[in-house]
Amino acid sequence: MTDYVMNCRIMSTKASPVIIIPARMAANRLPGKPLADIAGKPMICHVWERAMAAAVAPVWVATDDAEIASVVRNAGGEAVLTRADHPSGSDRTFEAVSLIDPDGQYNLVLNLQGDLPEMDETIPSILLRTATASGADLTTLVTPASQEEATRKQVVKAVVSWNEAGDVGRALYFSRSAVPHGDAPKWHHVGVYGWRRQALERFVTLPPSPLEQSERLEQLRALEAGMHIAVAAVDEAPAGVDTPEDLEATRARLFAATGG
C-alpha cells in the first residue's frame, strides 16, 4: 500500500482530538514550576486556560503530583495522575490518554507543554488543522529563527521541506546547531505535537535512537523510525519557562498584561 493511499485513509477518518498537557514537579532547573505563581495564579492554570480558549478538544492535565491535579480541578479543569518515573512528556501523555480513554475514542492527541503560560490560543487550532489535513504520524510547529536564535544551542532548529504553497512542510531533521548551512531560512522549533494515537503508542515502545541521544532531541527518534512529521509555521514561538530568569520575565509581562 502506498503512503498516499494510507494517508488518504487516515484523512478520511474523522479526527477525534484530545489535548494533553504534561506537568511534573521535578523540573531540573526550576523545581515545582507548574505551581509557580504568575499574575495571581499557578502557571499550569494559565496554560490550561489558553488550551481551553482554543475550544478544539477536551483538555486534560497529566501530572505526577496530587497538588497539581488539585489546583487544576479547583480551577474547573480535568487532571489525571500518572507515574512519576516517565522519561519524557510523550510517555506521560500516552499513559494519560490510555487512562482517560481506554476504549480508544480519541484518535488524535494534541500534546502541549505545561511551561508555556503565554501560548497563543490559536496554536492548538493550527496544530489540529495541520494534523488533520496532512495525515502525518505527528505534527509540530516552527517559527522563523533570528540570527541570534540560530546560534543558540538552547533553541532547537528544524530543517523543513515545504510544499509548493509553503503552508505545510515535512520535517527532515532537528538540531541544536544552526542548520541548514548557508543562506536557507532557519526555523525555530516550537515543541508542541499532534500525535496520531497509533503513532504515539508505537513511539513510546521504541528505544532512544542514536541521533536522539547525540542531539538530546526526542523527536529524532520518530524520524529515525521512519515517521512522517508534518510542520506548519506560526508567527512567533511562545516564551517557555525553564529558569528562574524566565519565570521573572514572564511574571513581569503577564502582570503588565493583566493591568497589575
Its pTM stands at: 0.91
Task: State the pLDDT at residue 13.
Answer: 59
Task: State the pLDDT at residue 95.
Answer: 97
Count other C-beta atoms under 10 Å from residue 8's C-beta.
11
In sequence order, what are the beta bridge partners of 142?
189, 233
Q: Does CATH number 3.90.550.10 belong to domain 3-257? A: yes
Task: State the pLDDT at residue 5.
Answer: 37
Domain residue spans of the chain = 3-257
Task: State the pLDDT at residue 87.
Answer: 86
Q: From residue 259, how far is each of 40, 150, 195, 234 by CA, in Å? A: 12, 34, 37, 27
Cα–Cα dist 51/67, whole Å: 20
Torsion of CA 244, 250, 251, 257, to 10 degrees: 180
Task: State the pLDDT at residue 15.
Answer: 83
Task: State the pLDDT at residue 259.
Answer: 67
Question: Three-class SS of residue 24?
Answer: coil
Count other C-beta atoms under 10 Å from residue 106's C-beta.
20
List of the chain residues with pLDDT < 50: 1-12
- Nearest C-alpha neighbor of 180 from the set 214, 146, 224, 150: 150
Rg for the chain (alpha carbons), in Å?
18
